[in-house]
Structure 1
């Protein structure tokens, strides 16, 4: 369930405890166990509210000796900086960070947070991250809409690290917590026969979405332009751009999971949830 404080403000703090991710996984037509969750608000402006959420995440969820998944994005960057300050002050010790991207690794290096590379056998105690949007009620999330500057898609590494975490926190602004969802969902696909995969996805959401292959440079286009994005693993990224409201992220994820050629996607859902008391209201 979700509780929403009645306030006119701008920050939600969501904590998820994953059992396991349901993560996996064109022709462009012309046309567990659930306890509870706390969703809190602050009357501060977005930047200050995200800073408060970042501090709250570190103070509440991180203990000495933990292995921490370090997310990517504005709020995650502030959490990494604060984590470094707590380490230097001696409030925390023996922390190891596992970055989800080059950007988060750079932030951790500047903050003095010791790091390790992600491996399948690595046990991650807790991870925090930014999300593009959280679906009200179900608390499903979309990640990976934005491509970090000077980086290819980080979706695969990001979800692998979040998947490995025993606990997961998302930090978002109020505008990112909504019931009527729109916009795009990134889908990581095998580059071989990518067009066939894109056509199948296009058929799934015919009339409700357009499918574009993400480009590495230049303007976006249905086929990815002259320089389509290719990840270090050799994958392409499709953006499924919904022109109608997204009915259910869980249903979209389930449909994508069944498409041949889909490696992963940006939908995170089906998490058991754990209660975390909200930070003090302003």
Structure 2
């Protein structure tokens, strides 16, 4: 599939998701290439007057920069009592709507915002759908730098293959918005995502991991049918 086709799918699914936002809503703004289009389309709806009085809660520095660029007012969790809808991408989606997120190293803030939202709408292209969780993407684990070695050993003892995520066009490891490091852990199989999520988070020094269990309420999937982008919903 060409890069242009993937972009068309992402734009179609982002457009559909942006239409789900109504005036007056508090919106969790996700991180990643598909959600970047959502933020763009929300900004365009605001500018045209089709949408009014919305505020966004960004899940990353990237989301914050894009929201400001497209004129979406931002607030923090201290400023609101509710989040009406969060829109975010995923690196994998299994048939039970369990997600792996964290390809952009923003999964800690994403899980906080997405978990607080009344509705969590996931936007993906069809390449992100998997029959078995962890088959194409490792589980990202955010870890305090001082605990890197013991956490790595603990993840190995769980049967994982942990690798410290290194920067691209940057010497050294990836550093999250919280100042921590990310270990990507490949598991041969993930039989019980909910149990694994809890077990990893109970390792001292782990901040959060990229397994999102029981959080997604709706999933919009962008697909190509006869070379035309279409969006279907997994409920």
TM-score, normalised with respect to structure 2: 0.81
Closer, same or farther in 2 for the Cα pair 1:185/1:66, shift >3 Å?
same
Equivalent in the alignment of 1:24:
none
Taking the aligned partners of 2:106 and 2:219, their CA distance within structure 1 comes to 29
2:17 to 54, 57, 67: 57
Which residue is 1:193 aligned to?
147
Q: Determine the structure 1 residue equivalent to 2:226.
A: none
* Count of matched residue positions in the alignment of Structure 1 and Structure 2: 220
Structure 1 residue 229: Cα displacement: 3.9
Q: Which residue does 2:126 correspond to in 1?
A: 174
List runs of 5+ in structure 2 lacking aligned partners.
Answer: 223-229
Report whether the alignment pairs 1:111 with 2:70.
Answer: yes
Cα distance change on mapping 1:168 and 1:267 into 2, 3 Å: same
Q: Name the one with the larger helix percent.
A: 2
What is the CA–CA distance in structure 1 between the aligned matches of 2:127 and 2:218, rounded to whole Å? 23
Cα deviation, residue 116, structure 1: 1.7
| Relative contact order higher in (CA < 8 Å, ≥ 6 apart) | 1
Query: How far apart are residue 144 of structure 1 and its match?
Result: 0.7
Tell me if 1:139 matches 2:62.
Answer: no
1:142-153 aligned within 5 A? 142-145=100-103, 147=104, 153=105
Q: Which has the larger radius of gyration?
A: 1
Superposed CA RMSD in Å reads: 2.9
Q: Distance in 2 between matches of 1:188 and 1:235?
A: 6
Give 1:95's aligned residue: 54
Structure 1 unmatched runs, 5+: 1-43, 148-152, 220-225
Aligned pair partner of 1:204 in 153, 158, 167: 158
SS of the residue corresponding to residue 198 of structure 2 reads helix
Structure 2 residue matching 1:64: 3-state secondary structure: coil
Q: Offset of 1:213 from its aligned partner?
A: 2.0
Q: Which of 162, 170, 178 is equivalent to 2:114?
A: 162
Match of 2:82 in 1: 123
Q: Normalization by structure 1: what TM-score? A: 0.68
